[in-house]
Structure 1
């Protein structure tokens, strides 16, 4: 997995697609997630573009695409169970999948160690 400064994660899948969600650190900071707005399948998104919104009992936060590409899937389960983001942010709580325009964009994202160090600095 790779991580963005805006607290999204990106995982390159075996089929070449990229799955995106928010990190455990981000969901902890947000608190209980009550609503998730994802992009629409077929949307073209550039790296850094707003791709949705996550709302919690505390606040609403924009979700940004850590890499660009075409949206090929969204986690429809979040519509009825947004709390999946809290209980399992890296598996059941994923937000959307992209067919990346350039997998090289993953190379500019942070490793797990770099992301953890950034979070430690912020706290």
Structure 2
């Protein structure tokens, strides 16, 4: 039997991607498509816009959806992999369990919002 609320399923007319949310590092908008980056450096292109994937995450992952945060217009990140935020350098670094790092450059405003969110979460 499948565990509920731990896997994101993205289905098209020809493909189905089923991935444990804990293996998703971030999702980046690429026009009408999204690139889904996974632990271990695997990248999958999906034929949905970022807003559609964001809705899938909310609908399918229930409480686990809180692990994902929309960063500006082009990114959704799994906050469990946030390693370093530099507002001054406009840099976000994610680190996966394989010690690989991923450097992203979201907007300054998006970084401030993410930094604040993580700081607030730390207080609880």
Place the TM-score, normalised by the shorter chain, in its bin: under 0.3
TM-score by length of 2: 0.27
TM-score by length of 1: 0.27
Radius of gyration: which is bigger? 2
Structure of greater relative contact order (alpha carbons < 8 Å, 6+ residues apart)? 1
